[in-house]
Amino acid sequence: MTRSVPMSPLARRGSLVVLVILLFAAVYYLSGGWRGSAPAGEDVVTFNRDIAPIVNRNCVVCHRPGESAPFSFLDYAEAKKRAGLIAALTASRFMPPWLPERGEVEFLNERGLSDEEIALIRHWVEQGAVEGDPADRPDPPRFTEGWQLGEPDLVIAMQAPFTVPAEGVDVFRNFVLPIPVSTPRWVKAVELRPGNPRVVHHGVMQVDESRASRRRDEEDAEPGFAGMDMAGSEPPGGQLVGWTPGKVPVVDERLAWRVEPGSDLVVQLHMLPTGKAEQVAPRVGLYFTDAPPREQAFSLLMRNDDIDIAAGEGNHVVEDTLTLPVGVRAVGIYPHAHYLGKRIEAHATLPDGTTKTLIKIPKWDFNWQDDYRYREPLTLPAGTTIHMRFVYDNTTSNPLNPHQPPRRVRFGNRSSDEMATLAIQVIPSREADKPLLREALMRSRLEKNPDNWFAHSALSTALATQGRLDEALSHIQTAIGLLPGHPQLHYNLANTLLAMHRTDEAIEGYTRALAIEPDHPKAHNNLAVALQRSGQLERAIHHYRQQLTVSPMNAQAHANLGTALFDQGNMAGADEAFAHALELDPHLGTALEGRGDVARRLGRLDEAKAHYSAALEALPGAPGAHYGLGAVRLAEGDEQAAIGHFREAVKGNDAYIGVLNDDAWRLATHPDPNVRAPREALALATLADRLMQHRVPELLDTLAAAQAANGAFEQAVETLEQALALAAEGPASQYIAEFRERLALYRHGQAFVADPSP
């Protein structure tokens, strides 16, 4: 069937020329010039000797069977088949992918070839991609198959795979994976196995405690939800957890982050259609550590949402600055813009005027975005100003422009919108510096947009953590004014009110949050705490139970229910709740304390001691366990040991002064003479009073009651007179009338006995 084609006139005319040229060529070839600048003979560049080491070091981490990149360069035949491609893509520095400019700042795991290596590859290809002597061939690198960090402590998998269509634009999908832990855990590393590496271009993982992501997921039948917006999720513990092909996850025990029961992991995958429909089902491995971290990272998320780029604008600049209120060490950085992004730069101006480059990306490429870790942390003292500068190209000469012809583009989460965010992972020197950083960030956002409800809310939380409750209240109220229907804002308001001891208003706030979101992940619990605090035990128990329908696996919620049942006097119920909590988390300190309290209340002192000791083992220094042990020791008559434990309890949490006082009061004044224990009461009250240096009228009142119960009426009178003198000056003045009544009793040689009605 083949058909010969006549030689064209041009070819015929050219025949003579060809002959002449061939002659030239032969001479040139023989002179060695054909092989470019490479040396002749045995110095020809070979794969085995010269190229394999470069490829092994830089390429095969991805370019090998089963990994994300196309083609395997582990063997010569495959590499030769792509030799020209390798030469072209290394020469353009597109491969290996690495965006930051080299030089001023060094990152871990920098990828890239030297000019010499690139030239060597070019010569190899020019010389015909020779294999060379097998004896020269280096051993192939060893790779860990499967999980790079070994078998994870917990593997979270998708229920059903997501299907990426055969063609179309890039797919951004956020998969919401509940994290099945029943108790808070410390996570030292996260590893993503994308499942179908050829499809997945990069991934970002965040954690959502709010369920906002879960609700977005439920909006359609497909797994996950679309877009770049990761709903309510946040970088866990301030860490940037990204995945790009070939990246080995970082294990850093110093920076472990805490995952709370009921949280969701949100895995955002950027996927590329491959030409056929592909199934994607990522798996995530979590690696836990028992030790709480020594340092905690903070994600300094700078962003400027004031983006408005006119069509045809080729150099649109978006900037932001932030002055650090405290010193930090920067350990990583993650810049983010979309397809119009052209150039990204960030630098820090230190208080002494010197500048440090944080990152410089001369040619931004959305597809190869990544988070980068500094080789050495950068020290940024308090007063350092961080500048970020993003340049955008919204012209037709930007081929990645999603709009052809260009259109006006503004801020937004869709890939056709634009963003300008720079997440800098920093380590503050003290945990208490974090709210200061958050405050600075949020104030910076509010300067740009005073109506940013989110910034008001986050600022409020930062202020509340600093104990600046009045300011916190004002900002959360502003946030609610801007967005009245958001349950989380009402929840935050209620938390602030609870911290301000405005318990009734807090109860109203939680109730409003729950009216909007009946299965709010935490509001039932906190409402119950408020109710328990205001003595409404029935309602508290109801809401603890509601909390358990929302998060049945939450060990702490079971323990909280136990405490309310305990307060109610339902020892069997309390014990059962604590036991449930311990089934989910055998080391939960509060549940062990709770079981100890139940045993103690039931007079089973040995059992109580065993529980308290276990609690102290699980949670060294746990004040509740110390308190319980103190009480047991006291009942056993070992006053010295008891006082030691009480001291520890108060040292751990000064609220135990109140507990000490309550117990002393109960033992001194209980209407049931079998419960009353004047001697023990006196020991407790004396200790409480001594710890507070005889300055608290309520404690002196209790001490007086204990003295009276022991028959020491003269001392009682003296003590209570002291209390009266102090009360006159302070907030305890409300008790003056009560104090006077009791003083009269003591003067008549009578002890005070409480009213039997509750």
Partner 1 sequence: MTVTWCRIAAVCAALLIVLSGCETDGLEGVQDLDGRSINPIGNAGTPITVTLFVDSDCPVSNRYAPEIQRLYSRYAPRGVGFWLVYPDPDVSAESIRTHMSEYGYDFPALRDLHHSLVRRANALVTPEAGIFLADGTLVYHGRIDNRYVDLTQRRAKATQRDVENVLDALLAGKSVDSSWNPAPGRSLKTMSEPGVGCYIRDFK
Query: Smaller CB distance to partner 1: residue 6 or 467?
Result: 6
Pick from 134, 399, 673, 758 the residue near partner 1 by CB under 8 A: 399
Please, are residues 514 and 523 in contact by the beta-carbon 8 Å criterion?
Answer: yes
Q: Which stretch binds partner 1 (CB under 8 A): 80-88, 151-159, 571-579, 665-673?
A: 80-88
For residues 164 to 203, the per-residue mask of contacts with partner 1, x marking binding by CB under 8 A and - elsewhere, is: --xx-xx---------------------------x-----
Query: CB of residue 84 vs partner 1: minimum separation in angstroms?
Result: 4
Q: How many residues bind partner 1 (CB under 8 A)?
A: 51
40: contact with partner 1 by CB under 8 A: no
Q: Does 295 bind partner 1 (CB under 8 A)?
A: no
The minimum distance between CB 20 and partner 1, in angstroms, equals: 8
Distances (CA, A) of 575 to 382, 543, 587, 683: 50, 18, 16, 29
| Position among 66, 94, 317, 572 found at the interface with partner 1 (CB under 8 A) | 94
DSSP β-bridge partners for residue 317: 391
Q: Is 757 in the site for partner 1 (CB under 8 A)?
A: no
Q: What residues does 148 pair with on adjacent strands?
A: none
Q: Which is nearer to partner 1, 29 or 143 (CB)?
A: 29
Alpha carbon distance 88, 74 (integer Å): 19
Secondary-structure breakdown of the chain: helix, strand, coil percentages, each rounded to the nearest 5: 45, 20, 40
Per CB under 8 A, which region of 52-60, 162-170, 511-519, 729-737 contacts partner 1?
Answer: 162-170
Q: Write out the H or E segment, with its range, that includes residue 121.
A: helix 115-126
Closest distance between partner 1 and the C-beta of residue 475, in Å?
Answer: 41
∠ CA 22-26-28, rounded to 5°: 115
User: Could you tell me which of 193, 246, 192 has the C-alpha nearest to residue 61?
Assistant: 246
Picking from 664, 709, 702, 670, the residue whose alpha carbon sits closest to that of residue 683 is 664
Identify which of residues 28 and 143 has a Cβ nearer to partner 1 in the complex.
28
Backbone angles phi, psi at 582, to 5 degrees: -75, -25
If phi > 0 it is left, if psi is from -120 to 50 it is alpha, else beta; for residue 98 that is beta
* Residue 27 found at the interface with partner 1 (CB under 8 A): yes
CB of 524: closest distance to partner 1 in angstroms?
A: 45
Instruction: Give the residue from 178, 224, 173 showing the smallest Cα distance to 199.
Output: 173
- Among positions 35, 38, 56, 82, the unique one binding partner 1 when judged by CB under 8 A: 82
Work out which of 49, 63, 80, 558 binds partner 1, going by CB under 8 A.
80
Give the separation between CA 346 and CA 357, rounded to whole angstroms.
6
| Terminal alpha carbon distance of the chain | 108
Q: d(Cα 428, Cα 465) in Å, to the nearest integer?
A: 16
Nearer to partner 1 by Cβ, of 226 and 610: the residue is 226
Q: Is residue 37 near partner 1 by the rule CB under 8 A?
A: no
- Return the residue of 314, 327, 377, 402 that touches partner 1, per CB under 8 A: 402
Asked whether position 65 contacts partner 1 by CB under 8 A, the answer is: no
* Cβ proximity to partner 1, 400 vs 499, nearer residue: 400
30 scored as a contact of partner 1 (CB under 8 A): no
Cα 233–Cα 235–Cα 241 angle in degrees, nearest 5: 120
| Cβ-based nearer residue to partner 1, 402 or 552 | 402
CA–CA gap between residue 535 and residue 39 (Å, rounded): 91
DSSP symbols for 65-92: TTSSSSS--SSHHHHHHTHHHHHHHHHT
From the list 39, 66, 84, 620, which residue makes contact with partner 1 (rule: CB under 8 A)? 84
Dist CA 61 CA 68 (whole Å): 9
Q: Which of 39, 40, 43, 81 binds partner 1 (CB under 8 A)?
A: 81
The closest alpha carbon to 298, from 439, 133, 455, belongs to 439
166 versus 248: smaller Cβ distance to partner 1: 166
CB of 126 to partner 1, least distance (A): 12
The contact set with partner 1 (CB under 8 A) reads 1-5, 7-8, 11, 14-15, 17-18, 21-22, 24-25, 27-29, 31, 33-34, 70-71, 77, 80-85, 88-89, 92, 94, 166-167, 169-170, 198, 272-276, 339, 365, 399-400, 402, 404
